[in-house]
Amino acid sequence: MYTLFVGTYTYGDSEGIYSLQFNAETGSLDSLTLAAKLSNPSFLTISKDKQNLYAVQETSDFDSLGGGVTAFKLNEGILELQNSMATQGAGPCHVSLSGDGHLAVSNHGGGNVALFSLKNDGSIMGTPQIIDHKILDTTKTAHAHMAQFNKNELFVVDFGLDAIKRYELKEGEYVPLEQTSLPLSDNAGPRHFTFGQNGKMLYVINEQENTIVVFQKDSKGNFNTIQTINTLDSDFKDKSYCADIHLSPDGKFLYGSNRGEDTIVIFTVDSISGKLTLVGREPVRGDWPRNFTLDPTGKFLLVANEKTNNIVVFKRNEETGTLAYVDEIELPAPVCLKFRY
Element (H, E) at 149: strand 144-150
Average pLDDT, the chain: 97
Grade residue 1 by pLDDT with cuts at 50, 70 and 90.
very high
Q: What is the pLDDT of residues 70-129, one digit of tens each?
A: 999 999 889 999 999 999 999 999 999 998 999 999 999 999 999 999 999 999 999 999
C-alpha R_g of the chain: 19
- Over range 213-228, report the average pLDDT: 97
User: What is d(CA 115, CA 133) in angstroms, rounded to the nearest whole number?
Assistant: 13
User: Is the entire prediction scored with pTM above 0.85?
Assistant: yes
- Over range 191-195, report the average pLDDT: 98
- Over range 134-143, report the average pLDDT: 95
User: What is d(CA 120, CA 52) in angstroms, rounded to the nearest whole number?
Assistant: 11
pLDDT at 48: 95
**28 class by beta-carbon count within 10 Å (0-12 exposed, 13-18 middle, 19+ buried):** middle
Whether the predicted pLDDT of 232 surpasses 90: yes
* Largest separation between any pair of C-alpha atoms in the chain: 53
Tallying the residues shown for the chain, one arrives at 341
